[in-house]
């Protein structure tokens, strides 16, 4: 028996786990690592299923090549030969933009894909870069970029010291936290209570987090920006604005005061569904010391995602809670992002068909189908998906799935043959989480405590590491063919990383380990990878510290409270105040503790407990529409239609229905036996790809107008 200490790569919480293996290298137990400096023994059902994931017989063990419509296992050589035969001619004949990339969420939890994916994407040089970010947190990058100058400078709630937490559109007791890396959310929320603090949740559904909170406001979906503006309006009206130390670092305070003027509590109350007196009280409570506002995916994947994300931080600034202990703070990761911090810019190019502006180097995935379907110069003819399942996770998924069939060539770098990769011509699999080293480059930048933990690979693997796969593909798209010298490419990447950080490459490490070592050496804590290797339970660099002004990289060197590209969207919100009240049904999503977006439904331990893919309907709506608990209902939107079992519950507010995303596994040609037997329905069949948060191009996945009827 052996025991390994690993950081769980399955969500943002970065829990330390203890994995026990028998002499046959079978995982016999996974438990929380009590000595982990950050998670202290916490584990959730997903982490506990790391063994099931590792041993899943459906996980791909060799590359797959489609021959006459059927996948066959081939050698890596054959797979790359096929790619070399088919991809470069498309680039040569139709240009770089003819090849699109879709990068999915697990790539952010995978150092090989994070560090070497960017090498491939840069070498490819396509404007058609898409990712899960435009169905997720892009509005937050937008607001951070516009306000602080750096799209990665996202302040996080200082959870362990706050005494008043206002949560909008997040359910961290289930999601385990997002844009807020914090293992054991329940323990940390309890800590707020024990300090005599208060938790307020704004969510159309009485989630676990809402039920745990001291106060819950069931807001109408998509109206958070109105509510947040009204909170500001109250602060100005009651003379409660007190930015404190930050006053010297602000631009645009008067502009914000003017912008907030129309949004009185009375004006927004009927639209948000939260009464004016409650709004006034919520605003006053934010002026307490150690208060913080936190907004997550319910506030980003909606019609006013960017404005809402911006207002969250404006409120934190104006209540004196930004960059203060107990407020919203900027983590300082052991590996900081590299590259020159140029002032934030958007719209450097536009999508060809709909003219959507580029944001942080990407285009909205909502328009990928347009780009594939519409002929002309720059039409997308090939697609590389890297750890993504857009056929389940992006809006109007039915249309996208049909569009993929029209591609001349498609590659999926993926561990399963699933709803998306089945459309590929070549699938390149990667090792399991236990077969690769791990380091949470992205999430330590969002962590409520500055920590770092390096995980070496627990088990050997026959599969190439995914950084090598990325470099092989880089070799092909740069015309070096499948025989490109991967070691030389890797040396080049390391030399570039070193140069940008003013360091020299030393030692005999290769791959991500060498890059992480360089980034650590360049980082703020005077540690090397060897130090982390000697600390299997992680290193703790302490609580978050104030970082303003050092963290700011706006052109002015100040916080831009009223940045032009966001202010430009406020008239669209003002128009909402004039619109007649609409009482049609709207659809929102939800997450379950035992699932991970679309891709962990193939694990028996996570699928137990009955069908979770139902539509939640309030009893009043159910009786009005003739819907009965357990019976099937049809849900129809502009984009499509689906049928799903009804669950009648007063958890959701009237006028709101909820279906989780990531289901719909009953498609032909996938090889996920457990998931196919428990398919659920794909909620993104009804998500409307034409509904976007305008500045950021993020899809509206919450607040989709739908009709629901008995089947």
Instruction: Between 13 and 83, name the residue whose CB sits nearer to ligand SF4.
Output: 13
Does position 172 interact with ligand SF4 (CB under 6 A)? The reply is no
Instruction: State the burial class of residue 517 (Cβ atoms within 10 Å of its Cβ: 0-12, 13-18, 19+).
Output: buried
Residues at the interface with Mo ion (CB under 5 A): 136
Q: Min. distance of Cβ 684 from ligand MGD in angstroms? A: 5
Question: Can you read off the two tokens belonging to residue 462?
Answer: 């026959």
Direct distance between the N- and C-terminal alpha carbons of the chain, in angstroms, rounded to an integer: 54
Question: Can you read off the two tokens belonging to residue 522?
Answer: 């360049």
Three-state SS at 605: helix
Instruction: Between 123 and 179, name the residue whose CB sits nearer to Mo ion.
Output: 179
CA separation for the pair 156, 158 (Å, rounded): 6
Task: Choose which of 260, 279, 562, 701 interacts with ligand MGD (CB under 6 A).
Answer: 701
- Neighbouring-strand partners of residue 386: 103, 413
Instruction: Decide which of ligand MGD, ligand SF4, Mo ion, none touches 65; Cβ closer than 5 to 8 Å per partner kind.
Output: none
Span of 69-77, 128-136, 274-282, 483-491 interacting with ligand MGD by CB under 6 A: 128-136
User: Pick from 50, 296, 46, 43: which is nearest to 183 by CA?
Assistant: 43
Size of the site for ligand MGD (CB under 6 A): 63
Three-state SS at 213: coil
Number of other residues whose CB lies within 10 A of the CB of residue 340: 6
Instruction: Between 43 and 486, name the residue whose CB sits nearer to ligand SF4.
Output: 43
Phi and psi angles of residue 128, each rounded to the nearest 5 degrees, phi first: -90, 65
Pairing of strands 382-386, 129-131: unpaired
Give the footprint of ligand SF4 on residues 17-46 (CB under 6 A).
Answer: 43-44, 46
Number of other residues whose CB lies within 10 A of the CB of residue 631: 13
> Is the bond preceding 641 in cis, omega lying within 30 degrees of 0?
no
CB 555 within 8 A of CB 157: no
Instruction: Decide which of ligand SF4, Mo ion, ligand MGD, none touches 47; Cβ closer than 5 to 8 Å per partner kind.
Output: ligand SF4
Instruction: Decide which of ligand SF4, ligand MGD, Mo ion, none touches 43; Cβ closer than 5 to 8 Å per partner kind.
Output: ligand SF4
Does position 15 interact with ligand SF4 (CB under 6 A)? The reply is yes
How many residues make up the chain in this entry?
A: 711
Binding mask 2-21 for ligand MGD (x = CB under 6 A): ---------x----------
Instruction: Decide which of ligand MGD, Mo ion, ligand SF4, none touches 10; Cβ closer than 5 to 8 Å per partner kind.
Output: ligand SF4
Give the footprint of ligand SF4 on residues 46-75 (CB under 6 A).
Answer: 46-47
Q: Min. distance of Cβ 631 from Mo ion in angstroms? A: 32
Span of 199-207, 512-520, 609-617, 618-626 interacting with ligand MGD by CB under 6 A: 199-207
Number of residue whose CB is nearest ligand MGD: 298
Instruction: Decide which of ligand MGD, ligand SF4, Mo ion, none touches 640; Cβ closer than 5 to 8 Å per partner kind.
Output: none
Extended beta strands in 589-631, E state: 615-617
CA separation for the pair 193, 199 (Å, rounded): 8
Question: Can you read off the two tokens belonging to residue 488?
Answer: 């030389």
Does position 664 interact with ligand MGD (CB under 6 A)? The reply is no
Task: For residue 595, give Cα distances in angstroms to 51, 171, 175, 324, 524.
Answer: 15, 14, 9, 35, 36
Does position 16 interact with ligand SF4 (CB under 6 A)? The reply is no
Rg (CA), the chain: 24
Number of other residues whose CB lies within 10 A of the CB of residue 462: 8
Binding mask 334-363 for ligand MGD (x = CB under 6 A): ------------------------------
Task: Choose which of 13, 219, 392, 562 interacts with ligand SF4 (CB under 6 A).
Answer: 13
Does position 661 interact with ligand MGD (CB under 6 A)? The reply is yes
Instruction: Decide which of ligand MGD, ligand SF4, Mo ion, none touches 497; Cβ closer than 5 to 8 Å per partner kind.
Output: none
Three-state SS at 194: helix
Give the footprint of ligand SF4 on residues 183-202 (CB under 6 A).
Answer: 183
Q: What is the 3-state secondary structure (H, E, C) of 451-498?
A: EECCECCCCCCCCCCHHHHHHHHHHHHCCCCCCCCHHHHHHHHHHHHH
Instruction: Between 143 and 176, name the residue whose CB sits nearer to ligand SF4.
Output: 176
Q: Which single residue is written with the structure tokens 């070799």?
A: 475
Instruction: Decide which of ligand SF4, Mo ion, ligand MGD, none touches 391; Cβ closer than 5 to 8 Å per partner kind.
Output: none
Does position 411 interact with ligand MGD (CB under 6 A)? The reply is no
Q: Enumerate binding residues for ligand SF4 (CB under 6 A).
A: 8, 10-11, 13-15, 43-44, 46-47, 176, 183
Q: Enumerate binding residues for ligand MGD (CB under 6 A).
A: 11, 104-106, 110, 132, 135-136, 168-172, 174-176, 178, 202-205, 207, 219, 221-222, 224, 296-299, 302, 387-390, 393, 413-416, 418, 420, 430, 466, 588-593, 595-599, 661-662, 683-684, 687, 701-703
């Amino acid at each position: 028996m052996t025991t390994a200490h690993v950081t769980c790569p399955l969500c943002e919480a970065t829990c330390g786990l203890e994995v026990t293996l028998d002499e046959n290298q079978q995982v016999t137990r996974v438990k929380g690592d009590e000595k982990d400096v950050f998670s202290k023994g916490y584990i959730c059902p997903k982490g506990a299923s790391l063994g099931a994931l590792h041993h899943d017989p459906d996980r791909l063990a060799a590359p797959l090549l489609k021959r006459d419509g059927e996948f066959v296992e081939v050698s890596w050589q054959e797979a790359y030969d096929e790619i070399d035969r088919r991809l470069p001619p498309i680039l040569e004949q139709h240009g770089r933009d003819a090849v699109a990339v879709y990068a999915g969420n697990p790539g952010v939890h995978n150092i090989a894909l994070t560090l070497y994916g960017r090498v491939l994407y840069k070498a490819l040089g396509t404007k058609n870069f898409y990712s899960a970010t435009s169905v997720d947190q892009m509005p937050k990058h937008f607001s951070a970029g516009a306000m602080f100058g750096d799209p990665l400078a996202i302040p996080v709630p200082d959870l362990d010291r706050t005494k008043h937490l206002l949560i909008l559109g997040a359910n961290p007791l289930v999601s385990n936290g997002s844009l807020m890396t914090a293992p054991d959310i329940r323990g940390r929320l309890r800590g707020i209570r024990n300090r005599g603090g208060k938790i307020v949740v704004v969510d159309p559904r009485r989630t676990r987090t809402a039920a745990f909170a001291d106060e819950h406001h069931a807001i109408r979906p998509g109206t958070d920006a109105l509510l947040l503006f009204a909170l500001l309006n109250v602060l100005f009206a009651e003379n409660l604005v007190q930015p404190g130390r930050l006053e010297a670092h602000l631009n645009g305070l008067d502009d914000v005061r003017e912008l907030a003027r129309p949004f009185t509590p009375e004006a927004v109350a009927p639209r948000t569904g939260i009464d004016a007196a409650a709004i006034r009280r919520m605003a006053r409570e934010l002026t307490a010391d150690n208060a913080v506002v936190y907004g997550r995916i319910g506030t980003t994947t909606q019609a006013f995602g960017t404005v809402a994300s911006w207002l969250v931080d404006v409120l934190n600034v104006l209540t004196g809670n930004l960059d203060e202990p107990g407020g919203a703070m900027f983590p300082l990761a052991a590996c900081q992002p590299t590259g020159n911090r140029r002032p934030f810019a958007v719209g450097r190019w536009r999508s060809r068909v709909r003219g959507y502006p580029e944001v942080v180097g990407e285009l909205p995935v909502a328009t990928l189908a347009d780009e594939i379907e519409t002929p002309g110069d720059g039409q997308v003819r090939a697609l590389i998906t890297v750890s993504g399942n857009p056929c389940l996770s992006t809006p109007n998924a039915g249309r996208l799935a049909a569009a993929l069939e029209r591609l001349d060539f498609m590659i999926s770098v993926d561990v399963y043959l699933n709803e998306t990769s089945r459309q590929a011509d070549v699938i390149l699999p990667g090792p399991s989480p236990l077969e690769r080293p791990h380091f949470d480059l992205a999430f330590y930048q969002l962590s409520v405590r500055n920590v770092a933990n390096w995980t070496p690979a627990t088990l050997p693997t026959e599969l190439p590491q995914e950084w090598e796969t990325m470099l092989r593909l880089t070799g092909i798209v740069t015309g070096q063919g499948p025989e490109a010298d991967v070691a030389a490419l890797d040396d080049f990447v390391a030399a570039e990383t070193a140069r940008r950080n003013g360091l020299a490459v030393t030692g005999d490490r290769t791959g991500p380990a060498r890059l992480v070592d360089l980034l650590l050496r360049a980082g703020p804590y005077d540690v090397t990878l060897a130090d982390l290797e000697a600390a299997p339970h992680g290193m703790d660099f302490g609580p978050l510290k104030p970082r303003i002004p050092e963290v700011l990289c706006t052109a002015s060197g100040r916080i831009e409270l009223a940045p032009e590209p966001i202010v430009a969207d406020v008239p669209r919100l003002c128009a909402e105040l004039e619109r007649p009240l609409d009482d049609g049904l709207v659809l929102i999503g939800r997450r379950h503790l035992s699932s991970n977006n679309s891709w962990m439904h193939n694990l028996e331990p996570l699928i137990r407990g009955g069908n979770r893919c139902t539509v939640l309907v309030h009893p009043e709506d159910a009786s009005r529409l003739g819907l009965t608990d357990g019976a099937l209902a049809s849900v129809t939107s502009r984009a499509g239609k689906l049928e799903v079992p009804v669950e009648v519950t007063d958890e959701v507010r009237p006028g709101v229905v909820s279906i989780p995303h990531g289901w719909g596994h009953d498609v032909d040609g996938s090889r996920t036996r457990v998931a196919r037997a428990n398919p659920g329905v794909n909620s993104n069949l009804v998500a409307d790809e034409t509904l976007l948060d305008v500045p950021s191009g993020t899809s509206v996945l919450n607040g989709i107008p739908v009709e629901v009827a008995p089947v």
